[in-house]
A and B are shown apart, each in its own frame.
Chain A
């Protein structure tokens, strides 16, 4: 009966296309919006995950997310280094600053001060210049998107002069890095240079990056650091989720995306359900004739499931394909850089689409199952 199911479906081209459109639309909207949502949420923690050398971030206990800065006393660095199991601990500056360009315009930047010796915290994927240039206290490295934002003509190789709080600074390196939630350019200097260039205040140390000794569990070490220093020590993963959860709880982003995703699912389901329902209703006489000549409800179920399965697979495939194409085409756009269609999103969308299709055919199947084959005798 599978052949009959497919011929029935393919024989009604307009409805076949309508059904596929509904599933494709729902898939595209859900997969794309969830991917963008995931991408935006990932950006809230990219400043953490991009520092791959560190296992633990130590900060003031009041800090709730990575963009919140509560400076610690300088002595806390020594306190953390004294905890058993710590391989190394380095200071990490992160804050906002304003730079002045040669043409007099100003630009707000995210200033990152990396450890002077190890350069832990500095991006690694250089596309112009060397990482070592930041060891010069008057030199900086900037992220690619930030460079293009400030100097849209490109020309990464040419040094660019800046002024930061009356300090001369020259951009001598450009690197690729994952964009952060704040869209300002990311300017990398050494920690000491950051201390020199930022306004004086009693405490300026926002983060301490820690690596544990070999065999040391980062979770256990983070707990020990907290117990011994009174500071908040979180593993990279813990801090990442703490930052993401902050944005989830404190911003309207998830609600907004949730509404869009739900609307996509509802509209897709409505189109699919309605088209399927009409498809079944218009074929009721044929289904009744089939029942009359001995086709069982089980076989009719097989027919409807085969039709739904084909529509689902094609619609889902097209929807995922369009989503992948969207992210492929926009992969270099700064607004969407780093946004990906993850396997988990594809799997989740597949489940949602399966539920939508099953719910759609449930409406129709009830009518088919209750159908009295005697209607074929009623002219």
Chain B
């Protein structure tokens, strides 16, 4: 089973009375146990595509299957549940709640699923310990460095044991060394045969962490490469 399968995906956005097509006929499969990178220049449609693949946006045309479930006719509420239970997210700007501690932030998907805060935070703390954040669970985001905050975001993406991890520019706000450390964690996660990691990036310093690179341009998937074969 593929983690994600999408066929002939198109997406239109209304602009005034017109509709503008930003994705054209995109098709690919994302394998489990791999890190797949989606690369391309700004504005090429990467963010729109991962929004569709993670059930946040709905495709105007085409079929999407995530972890065996078709998103094409899935109701919005069920997409929310799918995201909550089977998809983990890592954002460029971390998007941590400033009033919650690292462990509480990481516990968010569990709390959304109904788990009480103390129990959820305890489980999140174990994940944080596993990614080099021992003893940092009670700190607030403002007390953490950028790299540490991104690790909290990684813990948040892992805490509910999802099959698909979607990362949006996970190293964009980090320096090179910290970015590589974060990517090393994600690389370990991708080695799990039950998980797929999909990374959107245009940071060419991290391409070597990928198993596979999908290149986009002007709303189209224009290439499918092994990292060492990708010319940038």
- From the candidates B84, B92, B93, name the one contacting A294 in the complex (CB within 8 A): B84
Listed stretches B14-22, B62-70, B95-103; interface member: B95-103
Report B154-196 residues with CB < 8 Å from chain A CB: 156, 168-169, 172
Inter-chain contact B47/A294, CB cutoff 8 Å = no
Chain B hits for A252, CB < 8 A: none
Query: Closest residue to B88 on the A side, CB-wise?
Result: A293
Q: How far is the CA of A181 from the CA of B97 in the complex (A)?
A: 58
Chain B hits for A377, CB < 8 A: 47, 50-51, 56, 91-92, 168, 200
Chain B hits for A293, CB < 8 A: 83-84, 88-89, 108-109, 112, 156
Q: How far is the CA of A3 from the CA of B101 in the complex (A)?
A: 12
Q: How far is the CA of A4 from the CA of B113 in the complex (A)?
A: 13
Chain A hits for B168, CB < 8 A: 376-377
The dominant DSSP class at the B interface is mixed
Inter-chain contact A292/B109, CB cutoff 8 Å = no
Chain B hits for A8, CB < 8 A: 97, 99-100
Is B122 at the interface (CB under 8 A from chain A)?
no
Is A370 at the interface (CB under 8 A from chain B)?
no
Chain B hits for A285, CB < 8 A: 93, 95
Is B74 at the interface (CB under 8 A from chain A)?
no
Inter-chain contact B111/A1, CB cutoff 8 Å = yes
Is A305 at the interface (CB under 8 A from chain B)?
no
Mark contacts of B109-152 with chain A using CB atoms, 8 A cut-off: 1 yes-contact digit, 0 otherwise.
10111000100000000000000000000000000000000000
Give the distance to chain A from B138, nearest Cβ to Cβ, in Å.
13
Chain B hits for A288, CB < 8 A: 95
Is B77 at the interface (CB under 8 A from chain A)?
yes
Q: How far is the CA of A56 from the CA of B91 in the complex (A)?
A: 78
Mark contacts of B22-42 with chain A using CB atoms, 8 A cut-off: 1 yes-contact digit, 0 otherwise.
000000000000000000000
Chain B hits for A379, CB < 8 A: 92-93, 169, 172
Query: Closest residue to A8 on the B side, CB-wise?
Result: B99
Give the distance to chain B from A37, nearest Cβ to Cβ, in Å.
41
Mark contacts of A318-333 with chain B using CB atoms, 8 A cut-off: 1 yes-contact digit, 0 otherwise.
0000000000000000
The dominant DSSP class at the A interface is helix
Q: How far is the CA of A377 from the CA of B200 in the complex (A)?
A: 10
Give the distance to chain A from B18, nearest Cβ to Cβ, in Å.
20
Chain B hits for A11, CB < 8 A: 97-100
Chain B hits for A253, CB < 8 A: none
Is A286 at the interface (CB under 8 A from chain B)?
yes
Inter-chain contact A294/B99, CB cutoff 8 Å = no
Give the distance to chain A from B162, nearest Cβ to Cβ, in Å.
10
Q: How far is the CA of A12 from the CA of B98 in the complex (A)?
A: 9
Give the distance to chain B from A372, nearest Cβ to Cβ, in Å.
8
Query: Closest residue to A295 on the B side, CB-wise?
Result: B112
Give the distance to chain A from B31, nearest Cβ to Cβ, in Å.
23
- From the candidates B51, B57, B88, B100, name the one contacting A4 in the complex (CB within 8 A): B100
Q: How far is the CA of A289 from the CA of B91 in the complex (A)?
A: 9
Q: How far is the CA of A288 from the CA of B113 in the complex (A)?
A: 17
Chain B hits for A1, CB < 8 A: 111-112
Give the distance to chain A from B179, nearest Cβ to Cβ, in Å.
16
Is A263 at the interface (CB under 8 A from chain B)?
no
Which 7 pairs across A and B sit closest by C-beta, in order of nearness?
A11-B99, A294-B84, A289-B95, A3-B117, A377-B47, A295-B112, A294-B83
A-B contact pairs, 12 of them (CB 8 A): A286-B95, A286-B96, A289-B95, A289-B97, A292-B54, A295-B108, A374-B56, A376-B95, A377-B168, A378-B47, A379-B169, A379-B172
